[in-house]
Amino acid sequence: MMRYGGTTRLRPREVLARARDYFQGEVGLDLSDESRLHIRFVGGGGWVTVTVRGTGQGTALTMEVSEFDREAQDFLASLPPPASRLRRFWGSWRRRER
């Protein structure tokens, strides 16, 4: 078993929806369990569990994986990165100026 982690500017529900599309749709795993904060897929002799936590700036996610390491890394790489601190500053400044 391997554990991977990452952060993204997406909301937790968006991360779980993308995980469903990717692991169930593209990789072909079966959905085993799903809740507000995690989703689990099984098949092909392994499994993938994605757990999310909102951070106020986006989402922190943890993936526990058995036999699908490359797919997990590809999924993490496909997620948009968190907004940079400078971008968050300018975005909040522009909203105040309006």
Please report, for the chain, the start and end positions of each structural domain, with discontinuous segments joined by +.
Answer: 2-97
Report the mean per-residue pLDDT for the chain.
90
pLDDT > 60? residue 89 = no
Of the listed ranges 8-12, 28-32, 53-57, the least confidently predicted one is 53-57
Amino acid found at 50: V
Burial 58-77 (b: 16+ CB within 10 A, else e): bbbbebbbeebeebbeebbe
Q: Which residue matches tokens 């779980």?
A: 16
Question: What's the pLDDT band for 83 if we cut at 50, 70, 90?
Answer: confident
Question: What's residue 87's pLDDT?
Answer: 55
CA dist 20 to 2, 48, 55, 67, Å? 19, 11, 21, 17
Query: Which residue did the predictor score with more confidence, 2 or 91?
Result: 2
Which CATH architecture does the domain made up of 2-97 adopt?
2-Layer Sandwich (3.30)
